[in-house]
Amino acid sequence: MKIGIIGGYGGMGSLFAGVFTRAGHDVLRSGRRTALTASDLAARCDCVMVSVPIRETVAVIEAIAPDLHEEQVLCDLTSLKAEPVAAMLRSPAQVIGMHPLFGPQVSSLTNQTIILTPARCREQTLAVFSEIFSREGALVTLSTPEEHDRMMAVVQALTHFATLALAGTMRRTGVDLDRVLSFTSPVYRIELALIGRILGQDADLYGPILMDNPHVPAVLDALDAVASDLRSMVESGDADGFRRFFSDQKATFAPYVDRATAESNTLIEALVKQ
């Protein structure tokens, strides 16, 4: 195939350009400063991938839609899927939403997760992309756009919200970060490392994940309710209530506990050996 990547010189665009090139496909890239425009690229390629910021994605899709035909494949790389996929479906092209759950700094796709949301495409087309990513070692999960966004409200939005809340709480309490680090064991440094990892990136990456997913408010309502219940137990010294609360969560996570322990032990050992 000839694969065109709009935003192909950004982090993710460059990463996927390498993936497709290694798979033997010709890759064209356009960007803000290239002579090749998005419309030119769309008219010349078998597959068009939109790799631009979340809030620019729909506008780019709408701009190139008139240049596409039903034999082409149109896909995007955003962290939300319902709205971009709906926009892509208004074109005549085959449509596959894609969401790589990793950043462009990864050294390889080995054991990295890519969600595919095929909305209108031939089985053979889907198989081609699944095989490209699987050969690179990625873990490919199929979903609908709606299920994807519901899951991301928990997998991404809830965890990012909680991580940012931890950072804000530490800042508000005025603790000295260097002093805090001197009190931590490896397991707590992993928690702090996740805070630092997020804060080392761009707010405009995380804002849309939290603000533009319509499933997020309900998840945050649940978080508020749970935090309120837990705080009440802690402040009142309700040991029996806390045990019941802990037991309920333990039962829910029971199928994952052993794996979680093994995986976190691996992380701790790796950190200790640094």
pLDDT for 227 equals 97
Question: Do 209 and 255 fall into the same domain?
Answer: yes
Question: Do 118 and 156 fall into the same domain?
Answer: no
Buried b or exposed e, range 121-146, using 16+ CB within 10 angstroms: beeebbebbbebbeebebebeebebe
Question: Among the three residues 143, 172, 206, which one is the final residue of a domain in this structure?
Answer: 143
Question: Do 134 and 155 fall into the same domain?
Answer: no
pLDDT for 7 equals 97
Question: Among the three residues 143, 159, 183, which one is the final residue of a domain in this structure?
Answer: 143
Contacts of 156 (CB under 8 A, 6+ apart): 79, 101, 209
Question: In the numeric block, which tokens belong to residue 159?
Answer: 């965890």
Please give, one letter per residue, the 3-state secondary structure of the chain: CEEEEECCCCHHHHHHHHHHHHCCCEEEEECCCCCCCHHHHHHHCCEEEECCCHHHHHHHHHHHHHHCCCCCEEEECCCCCHHHHHHHHCCCCEEEEEEECCCCCCCCCCCCEEEEEEEECCHHHHHHHHHHHHHCCCEEEECCHHHHHHHHHHHHHHHHHHHHHHHHHHHHHCCCHHHHHHCCCHHHHHHHHHHHHHHCCCHHHHHHHHHCCCCHHHHHHHHHHHHHHHHHHHHHCCHHHHHHHHHHHHHHHHHHHHHHHHHHHHHHHHHHCC
Choose among 156, 94, 150: nearest CA to 122.
94
pLDDT (average), residues 137-157: 98
Question: Do 136 and 105 fall into the same domain?
Answer: yes
pLDDT for 251 equals 97
pLDDT digits (tens, 9 = 90+) for 94-139: 999 999 999 999 999 999 999 999 999 999 999 999 999 999 999 9
Question: Do 89 and 122 fall into the same domain?
Answer: yes
Question: In the numeric block, which tokens belong to residue 41?
Answer: 């690229």
Query: Which CATH number do you get for residue 226?
Result: 1.10.3660.10
Task: Give the total number of structural domains in the chain.
Answer: 2
Question: Among the three residues 143, 175, 204, which one is the final residue of a domain in this structure?
Answer: 143
Question: Do 135 and 159 fall into the same domain?
Answer: no
pLDDT (average), residues 30-35: 94
pLDDT (average), residues 151-180: 96
Question: In the numeric block, which tokens belong to residue 157?
Answer: 């939005």
Query: Which CATH number do you get for residue 116?
Result: 3.40.50.720
Model confidence at 273, pLDDT cuts 50, 70, 90, reads confident
Model confidence at 274, pLDDT cuts 50, 70, 90, reads confident
Mean pLDDT for the chain overall = 96
User: Which is it for strands 113-120 and 94-100: parallel, antiparallel or unpaired?
Assistant: antiparallel
pLDDT digits (tens, 9 = 90+) for 195-237: 999 999 999 999 999 999 999 999 999 999 999 999 999 999 9
Question: Do 67 and 98 fall into the same domain?
Answer: yes
pLDDT digits (tens, 9 = 90+) for 49-91: 999 999 999 999 999 999 999 999 999 999 999 999 999 999 9
Question: Do 125 and 253 fall into the same domain?
Answer: no
Structural domain including 105 reads 2-143
Question: Do 105 and 157 fall into the same domain?
Answer: no
Contact 31, 53 (CB under 8 A): no
Q: What is the pTM of this model?
A: 0.92
Contact 58, 83 (CB under 8 A): yes
Question: Do 137 and 37 fall into the same domain?
Answer: yes
Compute CA 90 distance to the chain's CA centroid, rounded to the nearest angstrom: 24
Question: Do 160 and 245 fall into the same domain?
Answer: yes
Q: CA end-to-end span of the chain, whole Å?
A: 43
Question: Do 71 and 185 fall into the same domain?
Answer: no
